[in-house]
Amino acid sequence: MAIAAESLMAAPERGISELRRQRQRAAMRFLLPMIVALLVVAAWPLMRTIYFSFTNTTLSNLDGGEWVGLGNYLNWRTLSSGRVIYRGVLADPQWWNAVWNTVCFTVISVSLETVFGVVVALVLNAEFRGRALVRAAVLIPWAIPTIVSAKMWGWMLNDQFGIINDMALSLGLISQKIAWTANPDTAMAAVIMVDVWKTTPFVALLTLAALQTVPREVYEATRIDGINPIKVFFRVTLPLIRPAILVAVIFRTLDALRMFDLVYVLTPNSAATRTMSTLARENLIDFDKFGYGSAQSTLLFLIIAIFVVAYLKLGRLDLSGEARR
């Protein structure tokens, strides 16, 4: 897109060689299929969802919805007693509970994943025998489909015959079996734990790639100067791998904000772990409130969009590559 915009702006300029114009036209031609694909698979469904959120569409009759304006988001009625009752997603305590759950989940899980991911990457970056094997092994949790790992952890965390309870009991860590996924106090912790287990390798992988681009000479220089390794990490390594970590964090956060599969499979559909996505799905499909569910999906999209913009601004993260030129 950036190149397309640039070519439009550049066109009136004088003295541009025919060759350059030709190259720009060629670039447009190569970009066109991708732009069309994005319009079809991303923009169109998104627009449809936003449109549905302003209607009272049901899943049984997708074309029969009537325009209700912002009614799905917020509407109010004045009762005969004069009291005003607010309804709609923005006045729905279930929605705010889901937002809170999702945000908690995102903040805690992404923080833990980042810390563990960097630690794992530092270990894997060190020279030791069998490093290639360990590197491959670390990636296994990331390679397992989420549904499979959620089901697997579901059995491992099972209160009666789960191996986690069995091990913790024999080690004397707990005095009685804990229903990890059923108990509202531990359900969210269980989800976070499984997510950290699953996605730490992703952060580790990105960080490791960045670590390998750090020139050895820098470390040799610090060693000659006799600088404490902890200081080296915070003053030298971390600033150099910061862009990679920021990218890993934004990927993880986007994933975590739309968390669905793990929660859906691992825990009962209760207020303790319900996220924005599982709530939207429930309204869209189970309750046949397609318009209402679309409003929730649209809000989820807005939240993610706002987050991305804020993150890019605050992190001064440059995804367009402008600065490199």
Shortest Å distance, C-beta 182 to other proteins: 3
Give me the helix-helix angle, 184-211 and 238-257, nearest 10°.
140
Count of other CB atoms within 10 angstroms of residue 33? 9
Phi and psi dihedrals of 280, rounded to 5?
A: -65, -40
Shortest Å distance, C-beta 47 to other proteins: 19
Shortest Å distance, C-beta 282 to other proteins: 7
Cβ distance to other proteins smaller for residue 60 or 213: 60
**Interface with other proteins by CB under 8 A: which residues?**
59-60, 62, 158-161, 177-179, 181-184, 267-272, 281-282, 285-289
Shortest Å distance, C-beta 239 to other proteins: 46
Q: Which residues contact 294 (CB under 8 A, 6 or more apart)?
A: 49, 50, 52, 53, 57, 72, 284
Cβ distance to other proteins smaller for residue 205 or 280: 280
- First-to-last CA distance in the chain? 17
What single-letter DSSP state applies at residue 272?
A: T
Cβ distance to other proteins smaller for residue 1 or 62: 62
Cβ distance to other proteins smaller for residue 94 or 125: 94
Cβ distance to other proteins smaller for residue 67 or 155: 155
CA–CA dist 292, 95 (Å, integer)? 11
CA–CA dist 296, 289 (Å, integer)? 11
Compute CA 138 distance to the chain's CA centroid, rounded to the nearest angstrom: 21
Shortest Å distance, C-beta 253 to other proteins: 28
CA–CA dist 185, 272 (Å, integer)? 8
Cβ distance to other proteins smaller for residue 269 or 320: 269
Shortest Å distance, C-beta 108 to other proteins: 21
